[in-house]
Amino acid sequence: MSNKMHIKLTVNGAEEEFLAEPRELLIYTLRERLGITGPHIGCETSHCGACTVNLNGKTIKSCTMFVAQANGAEVTTIEGMGGPDALHPLQEAFKEHHGLQCGYCTPGMITRAAKLLEENPSPTEEEVRFGMAGNLCRCTGYQNIVKAIMAAAADMSSSKEAAQ
Amino acid sequence: MKDEVTREERVDALGGMGCKRKRVEDARFTQGKGNYVDDLKLDGMLFGDFVRSPYAHARVKSVDSSAAMEVPGVLAVLTAADLEPLGLHWMPTLAGDKMMVLADGKVLYQGQEVAFVVATDRYAAADGIESVEVEYEELPVLVDPFEALQSDVVLREDLLGADGGTPDGAHGPRNHPNHIFTWEAGDKDATEQVIGAADVVAEEMVYYHRTHPCPLETCGCVASMDKVNGKLTLWGTFQAPHAIRTVVSLISGIEEHNIRVISPDIGGGFGNKVGAYPGYVCSVVASIVTGKPVKWIEDRMDNLMTTAFARDYWMQGKIAATKEGKITGLWCHTTADHGGFDACADPTKFPAGFMNICTGSYDIPTAYLAVDGVYTNKAPGGVAYRCSFRVTEAAYFIERMIEVLAIELGMDAAELRRINFIKAEQFPYQSALGWEYDSGDYHTAWGKAMAAVGYDDLRAEQAQRVADFKAGKTRKLLGIGLCHFTEIVGAGPVKNCDILGLGMFDSCEIRIHPTGSAIARLGTISQGQGHATTFAQILATEIGLPADSITIEEGDTDTAPYGLGTYGSRSTPVAGAATAMAGRKIRAKAQMIAAYLLEVHDGDVEFDVDRFVVKGAPERFKTMKEIAFASYNQAIPGLEPGLEAVSYYDPPNMTYPFGAYVCVMEIDVDTGEHEIRQFYALDDCGTRINPMIIEGQVHGGLTEALAIAMGQEIAYDEMGNVKTATLMDFFLPTAVETPHYTTDHTVTPSPHHPIGAKGVGESPNVGGVPAFSNAVHDAFRAFGLRQSHMPHDHWRIWKIANELGLHG
């Protein structure tokens, strides 16, 4: 169609270039166009956070952002956070502390938590709960998610200290 | 270096029952590599979506899809007229009723499916939906079940007799065109007699409002009809994949061996994904029509408005007692709002589920229950939202009635419970409403809970708070919410439990590989419960191979043995039992192989953790790993090669998990806001397979209970509009509203279950709702509150305070 827009994105370090309708949502681009299925769709109204990705240094809900608005952006999804050979400390901590059950919210949770710990490397429990309030979980009651994030924060700051 | 491994080390190496084994599922989920149905992408796959009714009750005069067919990307529009020649415009429900797949002349609730638009992608399907012209003629709307039973407005004209009368339904006589069934349990006359003669009778209407399971992943499927081979593959969010295969076969006429149903990873179920929905049928038809795979995925509004509501029970109760507080009788009449079609997911013989567990944890000698099901202009469903078939409603009812009785008697509610508990020595206990409770020790659990929270101190603090409030020193009240619940789970014995005629057994099939690892397949399907982790633990203990060497698979009907699926806390009680029994068959054959290898009689060897040893000579043994290999490479006289087993387990009884919960809540009288200061949850689920997973289940179930009690509802206006169809209005707690929970346990094994396990996933939701709600009520008890309906959101709590004159 003639109204397609020329979009450039960097997703998990890879440059992507394509034509998209102005109404195409970022979550659709990621999941359907690029095959990046870690971010999920849960509510389509920005409430649940299953679609959370980090975009230009901010946590966003990709279900309510047009890909046109993300033109030129750098996007990080769960797939960009760590793989089988080197898990991100948050991925390790969620496994260790039973911070997930059905797994549907988990990619968004971990993606958001990573940004939260960048913003605040040693948060209190209250700060974690507040900082994660944009991500809903129906299975865990959050108690072990909070525990996992606190543990990852401690782990990350001790490795940082060791590196220094 | 140690040359000998101790027995304890051998036990630890198995990772069997009782250990906090980390979940094997988590590697893929934490890396974004879960495989949910919407992640599935097939060549040429199309996307289908519904035109839905904006009206709650209307005639559908016409559906014109001609403009939609001109929309770029739209390939087909299905209507009831298209499905009728195939006999698929209606389908049977799980409750013995039938429901429309697509609107056939009228619609009965807002959001009802009217037409199915099939297009190349979601955007094109949405464009197509916009272009379908539907002409409606509005009809009077009934959203109140009591009014529906009096009204001249007939919702289900399709059920009228030829004479305009009301023929019997699937569950017996109907007394009004909008009446579905009357279901009774217990002794009516005796109960009324006891109530008539009692020292004290407390009477109350207890409403458990309509809500929705709302898993984070909505319902959906992908249907792919391979016309060359005549095979249909259906991937979907199915909590009961095998039953879905049978249902699809029965209603489509496709032979069952030509249908393969696959439940991939499921993003939470909580009962939402038990039923069969129009989207599944339309996707299958669309795939047959177009020759392409067709995907259908609900959006959140579709999900909340149409698939699978829960609760909506109006429970009128009377409870009788002596003046000392000994309960003598319980009477309950429930008016059950089932919506436009009766699509409740219950075992066939139980149209009101297990509501007759409503005598709870108490030794009540005489009881009577009647339930009337009613049609209204609301969505159908009536699923057990993290619950075993209406146990949540039953537990809420009795735990409110106990509180109301305590008020009537002027007694402490904890003491009233204590003096009425079924005693440990009374098990197995025959309840007045027909169940045989398998085991329990309620007094021990209750005593432990009261001690843990410092109950007497809490009551003293509460009394002081009331005095301070009255003296104008504080505007906050303190509520102590108590609950002792008894569940009934693990449906169930084939003699009285079936769904669509399918007995509710479950199954496990095990294959041991030559090198001593294994695969086991079950008839259930995990939706986050961690089956791949816990079932391997059961097997590790039963067959002596490490849990890490055992793969668990579920959800593919071509490979897994037949089973009725995962809901109603039935996986551990039923499939868990099948797993243990299949493991024991493996062990029995392994014993013969070991005896042959050790050149002794079968009876001369015994199982010891991970091996068979010669009795009295523990240095002579064969490990299960050695036995596994021998089963593939030795010609053993009288034995077939290989090491495999299958078990179809028909449970002799249900299991009856129980628990004692205490919620301590601060309530701000002026804003209606609450703060949960403490929540203590003691669960007794019998033998504990994985304490880490149990704790996680309790946290999650309590949070769903918090949501239901404190704000979550599916609300309708008088026109039948759904007022809570997005997550803006439908309350799901965030990490901020969710409190910290303290968990505890006692262990009373089930005497009839092979490993003594009872199931736990639903207990916290069943027990949590009364605990939260009772806390709210208890905070206002000193000011005269008896009963106030859930959900207790800030506005409703403020209203309680206002109506009690606490705003001065």
Q: Are residues A75 and A105 in the same domain?
A: no
Rounded CA separation B183/B372 (Å): 7
Range of the domain at A142: 89-157
CATH code for the domain in which residue A132 is found: 1.10.150.120
* Chain B residue with minimum CA distance to A21: B123
Answer for the pair B104, B119: CB distance below 8 angstroms, yes or no.
no
For residue B717, CA distances in Å to A119, B140, B270, B335, B342 come to 44, 13, 26, 19, 21
Q: Are residues A105 and A132 in the same domain?
A: yes
Q: Is the dihedral of CA B356, B359, B365, B369 positive or negative?
A: negative
By Cβ distance, the residue of B266, B299, B700 closest to A140 is B700
Q: Are residues A74 and A129 in the same domain?
A: no
**Max Cα–Cα distance, chain A, nearest Å:** 56
pLDDT digits (tens, 9 = 90+) for B345-361: 899 999 999 999 999 99
For residue B123, CA distances in Å to A76, B130, B233, B577 come to 25, 11, 25, 47
pLDDT at residue A59 tops 70: yes
Q: Which of A29, A62, A80 is the last residue of a domain?
A: A80
Count structural domains, chain A: 2
pLDDT digits (tens, 9 = 90+) for B796-808: 999 999 999 999 8
- Chain A residues lying within 8 Å of B41, measured CB to CB: 32, 35
Interchain proximity B41–A35, CB inside 8 Å:
yes
pLDDT given for residue A159 in this prediction:
87
For residue B217 the two structure tokens come to 């992943």
Does B417 qualify as catalytic in the annotation? no
Rounded CA separation B36/B221 (Å): 10
Q: Give me the amino acid identity at B183.
A: W
Interchain proximity A140–B699, CB inside 8 Å:
yes
Better pLDDT: A161 or B71: B71
Alpha helices in B472-608 (DSSP H): 531-543, 577-598
pLDDT at residue A3 tops 90: no
Give the mutation candidate from B296, B683, B734, B741 for the A interface (greatest A CB count, under 10 A): B734
By Cβ distance, the residue of A48, A96, A143 closest to B22 is A96
Size of the A and B interface in Cβ pairs below 8 Å: 173
Neighbours of B105 (CB within 10 A): 12
* Chain B residue with minimum CA distance to A134: B734
B506-512 and B611-614 strand pairing: unpaired
Q: How many Å lie between the alpha carbon of B434 and the closest alpha carbon of chain A?
A: 33
- Chain A residues lying within 8 Å of B216, measured CB to CB: 40, 42, 48, 50, 102, 104-105, 136-138
Q: Are residues A46 and A112 in the same domain?
A: no
- Chain B residues lying within 8 Å of A106, measured CB to CB: 29-30, 34
Give the mutation candidate from A85, A88, A109, A138 for the B interface (greatest B CB count, under 10 A): A138
- Rounded to 5 degrees, φ, ψ at A3 are -85, 15
- Name the nearest CA neighbour of A91 among A13, A163, A148: A148
B187 confidence band (pLDDT: 50, 70, 90)? very high
| Full strand arrangement of the beta sheet holding B674-684 | B476-486, B658-668, B674-684, B742-745
pLDDT at residue B85 tops 60: yes
pLDDT at residue B3 tops 60: no
Q: Are residues A32 and A74 in the same domain?
A: yes
Q: How many Å lie between the alpha carbon of B729 and the closest alpha carbon of chain A?
A: 10
CATH classification (class only), B7-34+506-649: alpha beta
- Chain A residues lying within 8 Å of B738, measured CB to CB: 129, 141-143
pLDDT digits (tens, 9 = 90+) for B359-409: 999 999 999 999 999 999 999 999 999 999 999 999 999 999 999 999 999
Neighbours of B467 (CB within 10 A): 12
Q: Are residues A13 and A52 in the same domain?
A: yes
Interchain proximity A102–B32, CB inside 8 Å:
no
- Chain B residues lying within 8 Å of A75, measured CB to CB: none
Interchain proximity B31–A38, CB inside 8 Å:
yes
Alpha helices in A42-103 (DSSP H): 89-96
Does B239 qualify as catalytic in the annotation? yes
* Chain A residue with minimum CA distance to B23: A95
Interchain proximity A42–B300, CB inside 8 Å:
yes
Q: Write down the mean pLDDT value for chain B.
A: 97
pLDDT at residue B253 tops 60: yes
* Chain A residue with minimum CA distance to B702: A141
By Cβ distance, the residue of A24, A40, A45 closest to B36 is A40
Does B255 qualify as catalytic in the annotation? no
pLDDT at residue B485 tops 80: yes
Q: How many Å lie between the alpha carbon of A65 and the closest alpha carbon of chain B?
A: 15
For residue B728, CA distances in Å to A79, A139, B301, B712 come to 29, 19, 11, 11
Interchain proximity A28–B122, CB inside 8 Å:
yes
B1 confidence band (pLDDT: 50, 70, 90)? very low
Interchain proximity A43–B726, CB inside 8 Å:
yes
Answer for the pair B286, B46: CB distance below 8 angstroms, yes or no.
yes
By Cβ distance, the residue of B25, B692, B695 closest to A103 is B25
Rounded CA separation A53/A27 (Å): 9
The answer to whether residue A164 sits within a structural domain is no
Q: Which of A38, A63, A80 is the last residue of a domain?
A: A80
Does B634 qualify as catalytic in the annotation? no
Q: Are residues A26 and A76 in the same domain?
A: yes
What is the fold of B37-141+218-266+274-306? Aldehyde Oxidoreductase; domain 3 (3.90.1170)
pLDDT given for residue B764 in this prediction:
97
- For domain B310-491+654-803, give the CATH number: 3.30.365.10
Rounded CA separation A18/A33 (Å): 9
Q: Are residues A104 and A72 in the same domain?
A: no
* Chain A residue with minimum CA distance to B304: A43
pLDDT digits (tens, 9 = 90+) for B636-690: 999 999 999 999 999 999 999 999 999 999 999 999 999 999 999 999 999 999 9
Identify the active-site residue in B174, B210, B386, B521.
B386
Q: Are residues A31 and A68 in the same domain?
A: yes
The answer to whether residue A163 sits within a structural domain is no
- Chain B residues lying within 8 Å of A105, measured CB to CB: 216
Q: Where are the domains of chain B?
A: 7-34+506-649, 37-141+218-266+274-306, 310-491+654-803
Q: Write down the mean pLDDT value for chain A.
A: 96
pLDDT at residue B2 tops 60: no
Same topology between domain B7-34+506-649 and domain B37-141+218-266+274-306: no
Portion 90-149 of A in contact with B at CB < 8 A? 91, 94-96, 98, 100-107, 110, 128-130, 132-146
pLDDT at residue A2 tops 60: no
pLDDT digits (tens, 9 = 90+) for B296-336: 999 999 999 999 999 999 999 999 999 999 999 999 999 99
Is any Cβ of chain B less than 8 angstroms from the Cβ of A33? no
Identify the active-site residue in B221, B332, B358, B387.
B387
Q: Which of A80, A100, A124 is the last residue of a domain?
A: A80
Q: How many Å lie between the alpha carbon of A85 and the closest alpha carbon of chain B?
A: 11
Give me the residues paired with residue B113 across strands.
Answer: B52
Q: Are residues A75 and A99 in the same domain?
A: no
- Chain A residues lying within 8 Å of B700, measured CB to CB: 101, 138-141
Q: How many Å lie between the alpha carbon of B527 and the closest alpha carbon of chain A?
A: 6
- Name the nearest CA neighbour of B438 among B117, B681, B759, B156: B759
The answer to whether residue A162 sits within a structural domain is no
* Chain B residue with minimum CA distance to A87: B31
pLDDT digits (tens, 9 = 90+) for A8-30: 999 999 999 999 999 999 999 99
Q: Are residues A45 and A96 in the same domain?
A: no
ipTM of the complex: 0.98
CATH code for the domain in which residue A41 is found: 3.10.20.30
Interchain proximity A104–B741, CB inside 8 Å:
no
